[in-house]
Structure 1
Amino acid sequence: MWIFFTIAVAISLATYLKSDNFSLLDNILNTTDLVLALSVTIAIYLWGDHTSRFSRFDKGCLVAVVVILLFWFVTRNHVVTHTLTQGILVIAYFPVVSRLWKTRENSESFLIWIAMAVTPAISLLSSKGTLATIYSVRAIVCILVLLMLMLRVEYLSRKHSDLVGSA
């Protein structure tokens, strides 16, 4: 997952930079996301579990990223490519969403995800251009959905505990 996430974030940043005369600091969230995703990918490669294989979902996302990249090379349409890439970045949240929907125990940190929601909100203050705004808003919406699902898991877990405790 982190490989295609890194590629998608890189495409997003590249299309942003090519769309106008922007610098890396003009879309600081996308820039720092690339550093984070690349760092995690390298760490997993160096120290992670090498026995895991690409799932069908991972392969599908990787194919979608490659198709978007090819579309960009052929059309040079930065805006459409950037928007399609945001769709891939939304899809990257699906495994976490699925796990949170199915589970009764929240393994995610509220503190980290709240900080991750605040970061793109703050980046909106310094970002330049529509594509940077799209990137930040996409991140905010995706993270808020995860936070709501985390609250749902906590609610259902407490409700289940109350039912078991009163029985």
Structure 2
Amino acid sequence: MDKVLKIVASFLILGCGLYYVWIIGDGEPAGTFATWFLFFIAVTVSLTSYKFNKGNDAEEGSLDLSDNIMNLCDVFVVTCIVVAILAKRGWSIFPISTTDKICGSLSALIVVIWFIKRNHFTTNLSSQFILFIAYFPTFSKLWHANTNEESFILWGSIWLAGLFSIAVAMRKNDLLATIYALRAFVMVSVILILMISKIGSQ
């Protein structure tokens, strides 16, 4: 059962990632480079700190990163998106907004503290906070928009992936993996609610 859930979740996440890479290549807007780079830092720190935290407790050979399937796939997807944006836009990725600079500074601070303190669990939770903040530009955009311009298929797929990822993590009694997937699930749920609220708006 766990294997099936992981396959479905990864299929949904990777499908969304390929869609984003495609629209970037097609010249359509898909978020700023700085935002995606922050996602890259956060998901990478999250997965790496997860690995070290689990590695401290796991028996030799028993560590399975796929238990945190959403985070694992996110690292691959976000890396592809960052590379796609760089390849498409080059130096036009600049300038960087004040919000992105603040989030970038927070991300750098988290990494520095992690290297100093070596507290993998706290670092992982801190990376979730950065990912939490990263959704707010989308919240603001939808809140102030007259109509919905987001894709229900895209966000619905991410929502389902989060649901399946939560199921995997909870079946494994994996706290950090559950927090990661649950955070994504809740944030995407808010986005979907905002999208639904714009149906029929002028």
TM-score (norm 1): 0.89
Q: Which of 1 and 2 has greater Rg?
A: 1
1:8 corresponds to 2:42:
yes
Residue 20 (structure 1) aligns with: 54
Q: Where do 5+ consecutive residues of structure 2 fail to align?
A: 1-34, 56-62
Q: 1:57 aligns with which of 99, 103, 114?
A: 99
Q: 2:159 aligns with which of 102, 111, 117?
A: 117
Runs of 4+ in 1 over 2 A off after TM superposition: 21-24, 48-52, 124-128
Which runs of structure 2 are paired with 1:81-92 in the superposition (5 Å)?
Answer: 81-92=123-134
Aligned residues: 157
Residue 118 (structure 2) aligns with: 76
Residue 148 (structure 1) aligns with: 193
Q: 2:77 aligns with which of 36, 40, 43?
A: 36
Q: Which amino acid aligns with 1:48?
A: R
Q: 1:93 aligns with which of 135, 148, 153?
A: 135
How far the C-alpha of 1:91 sits from its partner, in A, is 0.6
Residue 20 (structure 2) aligns with: none
RMSD: 1.3
Q: Where do 5+ consecutive residues of structure 1 fail to align?
A: 161-167
SS at match of 1:48: helix
The percent identity for this pair of structures is 37
